[in-house]
Amino acid sequence: MAGGRERVEVIRNRVVLKEFGVQNVHTTDFPGNYPGYDDTWNQQRFEQVQRGHRSQLNGVTVNRGRRNFRVDIVRLEEGTLEFDMIGIDAAIANAFRRILLAEVPTMAVEKAFIYNNTSIVQDEILAHRLGLIPIKADPRLFEYRSAGDEEGTEIDTLQFQLKVKCTRNPKAQKDSSDPEELYLNHKVYSKHMKWVPIGNQADLFGQVDIRPVHDDILIAQLRPGQEIDVVMHCVKGIEKRRLDVTCMLEKLMGLKADKSPGPDDLHPRVLKELKTTPSSLLLPQQVTDFSPT
């Protein structure tokens, strides 16, 4: 019995390097996997720092802070943070990663007002690309935009303008075939997005460098005569919310107009025609229960 317990301890707590491979690299101490062990999540046990301390509770071995969790900063720069999470399960570390991606507020393009787009990039694709460009602005300086507010104010909205027109280079060689020499402004980059202050933002953020995080993000390619003229509104939000809205719109587009009404007694054709309506006005049950089949 003691030998079996020792083998379990090795599997649970040791990575073993063998001649032809590495063993015990995966997390196996999840609840119910090992009889006699209590591996359920407990914040108090997680916060304890003494390694290897265990106790018996009603005949069940309870682990107490055996990993000595810590975070080591490897590299910290203006736009990069690299760190190691030591003494934690991969599942919990992945949860931290998903929280950082989905629940940390950022400023991003929410609406794109396209006044002119004669490029080969469709308006919807152009707006989607603009929405993926990270904006260098501290979200703590802004408020969340109120529901139903389409205009925005200086306390909740940043405005950018993208206006680029491609022309021929009069100084280009006649026998040249290089677009870089033949055309001017034939590549539209994120550096062409210019911040347009709203209200008193010029006074409030005059010393702040508000711009896209990266200047070399390619948005579109143009040819002589083609032009892009877009005004963008950036608002404070979290990726989780933006993904939920995008998913809902995709489901609305996929509704079949010839199907019968759903659980909210709304006909699919009506919902499909209201896809441009603000999401807060649509009943969520109809969208949640949607099935493409």
Give the pLDDT of the chain (293 residues) as one tens digit per residue: 566 778 888 888 788 898 999 988 777 777 788 888 887 877 777 666 444 445 444 444 444 444 567 889 999 988 788 999 887 777 778 888 888 888 889 999 999 999 999 999 999 999 999 999 999 999 999 998 887 777 888 999 999 999 999 999 999 888 889 999 999 999 999 999 999 999 899 988 888 889 999 999 999 999 999 999 999 999 998 876 655 555 556 666 666 666 666 555 566 666 656 554 444 444 444 444 433 33
Chain position carrying tokens 């309506």: 277
DSSP string, 151-179: S--TTTEEEEEEEEE-EE-TTS-TT---H
Alpha carbons within 13 angstroms on the beta-carbon side of residue 127 total 14
- The values of phi and psi at residue 267, to 5°, are -70, 135
| Cα 28 to Cα 220: distance, rounded to the nearest angstrom | 48
**pTM for this predicted structure:** 0.64
Q: Are residues 218 and 189 in contact, defined by beta-carbon separation less than 8 angstroms?
A: yes
- Helix, strand or coil, per DSSP, at residue 186: coil
Q: Which helix (H) or strand (E) covers residue 219, if one does?
A: strand 218-221
Q: Are residues 92 and 226 in contact, defined by beta-carbon separation less than 8 angstroms?
A: no
Predicted pLDDT of residue 78: 80
Residue 31 Cα distances to 24, 39, 41, 193, angstroms: 17, 5, 8, 51
User: What does R_g of the chain's alpha carbons equal in angstroms?
Assistant: 28
